[in-house]
Structure 1
Amino acid sequence: MFGATSTTDEVLAGIDLKGKRFLVTGVSAGLGVETARALVSHGADVIGTARDLAKAERATAQVREAAATSGGSLELVEVDLASLASVRAGADAIVKAGKPLDVIIANAGVMACPFGKTVDGFETQFGTNHLGHFVLVNRIAGLLKPGGRLVNLSSSGHRYSDVDLDDPNFDHTPYEEFLAYGRSKTANILFAVEFDRRHRDRGIRATAVHPGGIQTELSRHMPEGALDGLLQTINEQNAAAGQPLMEWKTIPQGSATSVWAAVVAPADEVGAQFCEDCHVAEVSTLPGLTGGVQPYALDADTAKALWAKSEEMVAETF
């Protein structure tokens, strides 16, 4: 029914979200803003998190306009995923408010940045994309209603690499921007797999999604022209593998799979799966950034091991 070119408004057409509460991370730009706008446009109440609240206030003006028309609402909470102190403070504030959640959409992230470390000493991409969300989501998981969902934004970039639980911070491995990105995006999928296993008895399901290739602030660390070069490389690989060429999506098209997985798709269909273009992806070992999900990203044993390693790294047990 929906596909690569479907938009958020098309996916949510005719759906009433009044009385539903969502948490969306990264609402200061791009996909996060559009996801929040689409949800409040259908009457939802959205808690949006952002590292820079002033930037988020400016970026979400359209979300507030939509909320005023639909009866939905937007509330902003400061959360810097690269600082566990900030993550815990934000999570504590959300828990203290005590408002149940229907869906958590872990949307925020960084991509292909130079080597660096978070406030807590973690490699930037793994620390921000995975560990920050790992702590935030687990700390507020008790607010999820039975029948609720977790949607982790991953990427076809997970195909660059499996996780490396022996050297997550590149202490011994030469750093490569997209290798690190791939590890973090695989971690996003594996986190969903294990979260789903732990919470499905409560009727709560978790999934991971690839939004598609979208030109957003996510690529801000890449040199000028590098994004177009990456697209050319991907399409050379796709052509060699007999796969369709990749095309850029608009932001509403990129956010569509997030809201589809959060609201529209049957929970049992998407639970512990990887979704793209508004459908569950097939397992694929083809090289390059072709469609599908690498089997290592859905491996239940690796998911359990990642959870244990993540708890060790953040010094907190969930």
Structure 2
Amino acid sequence: MTNVFGATSTTEEVLSGIDLSGKRVLVTGVSAGLGVETARALVAHGAKVVGAARDLAKAEGATAIVRAETANGGSLDLIALDLASLASVRACADALLADGRLFDVVIANAGVMAAPFGHTADGFETQFGTNHLGHFTFVNRIASLIAPGGRLVNLASSGHRFADVDLEDPNFEHTAYDPWIAYGRSKTANILFAVEFDRRHMARGVRATAVHPGGIRTELTRHLGDGALEAMVDKVNEELAAQGKSPFELKSIPQGAATSVWAGFVAAADEVGGLYCDNCQVATVTENPASRISEGVRAYALDAERAKALWNKSEEMIDERF
């Protein structure tokens, strides 16, 4: 298909003229930022959205705007899901399985970034445990609820450039902890999970993709100190200026959520399946180390054998097979 969208496209521009009536969508992380905007855009175009959040009271308040903009039969229901607790993950999945209704698209949006060293309820390093293992367990448990022709969209990040996954020491038991390396590992894992999920489910018409929303000021930056985000942008722009390139600009939240809805509902399934997207298009593979925040995807994040190895390691860590 011809791509007419880019870095500045918004959710409304991407979904212009698209009626999602009859579509059922699951979005994790609907208590702030991209999750709320994704849900808002979908219900405004008629989709029935199930929004998952750790703090339901917070999500209720944050999604008032979502309910205010429902149209064409669109709706929003909330469910409790704490990705840092496998007990919560399994309970939420069990409830959805008992309900039995299918989803057309699952958008694994929730996550944490650059968190201080810590562990989930099950003893996993916080970022790998929350961003990857929580979603890995949850999505695989409800995989049968993704309808034939449906899709999984994993929210990844250009931050995957900070690090490949470490299958020997995923919990930093023998490695000095760095919050950005940990974030990079978890985001690479999000991409590799999409690669292997796509391979396993494409025969029944279900495809998976990973997306980078762009640099955005949301609650995801809550672990950064005052001025830290601005300092990062300044450093990146120094690098870009040295390369003779245009400066990097933060996106608005509607611009950030655009690639998620584009990959889920607009792009052709065969165009995005098993791949990584940014700026409402499929990203190119690049090994340019000059700037770790610019567009493109590292080859290691799309490596099929690496994806299989991560899947096996993840099953071992959570003691569950899919």
Q: TM-score range by the shorter chain?
A: over 0.9
The TM-score with structure 1 as length reference comes to 0.98
Say which SS state the counterpart of residue 70 (structure 1) adopts: coil
Partner of 1:100: 102
Work out the number of aligned pairs and report it. Answer: 317
Partner of 1:313: 317
Cα displacement string for residues 53-105 of structure 1 (whole angstroms, at most 9, x for unaligned residues) = 000000000111112x4321111000000000000001111111111110000
Q: Tell me if 1:24 matches 2:27.
A: yes
Partner of 2:93: 91
Selected match of 1:54 from 54, 57, 60: 57
Q: CA deviation at 1:152?
A: 0.2
Partner of 1:206: 208
What pairs with 1:71-220 in structure 2 (closer than 5 Å)?
71-220=73-222
Inter-partner Cα distance in structure 2 for 1:193 and 1:42:
29
Q: CA deviation at 1:245?
A: 2.3
Say which SS state the counterpart of residue 104 (structure 1) adopts: strand
Selected match of 1:285 from 284, 287, 292: 287
Q: CA deviation at 1:235?
A: 2.0
Structure 2 letter corresponding to 1:4: A
Cα displacement string for residues 264-314 of structure 1 (whole angstroms, at most 9, x for unaligned residues) = 000000001100000000000011222100000000000000000000000
Cα displacement string for residues 219-269 of structure 1 (whole angstroms, at most 9, x for unaligned residues) = 001110111011112222333344432101000000000000000000000
Say which SS state the counterpart of residue 102 (structure 1) adopts: strand
Aligned-CA RMSD value: 0.8
Partner of 1:296: 300
Inter-partner Cα distance in structure 2 for 1:219 and 1:60:
20
Say which SS state the counterpart of residue 152 (structure 1) adopts: strand
Runs of 4 or more, structure 1, over 6 Å off, are none
Inter-partner Cα distance in structure 1 for 2:273 and 2:247:
28
Structure 2 letter corresponding to 1:27: V
Structure 1 letter corresponding to 2:193: F
Inter-partner Cα distance in structure 1 for 2:240 and 2:311:
33
Q: Which moved more, 1:232-241 or 1:259-268?
A: 232-241
Determine what percentage of the aligned residue pairs are the same residue.
Answer: 69
Q: CA deviation at 1:25?
A: 0.2
Partner of 2:48: 45
Partner of 1:3: 6
Structure 2 letter corresponding to 1:16: D
Structure 2 gap ranges (5+): none
Q: CA deviation at 1:197?
A: 0.2
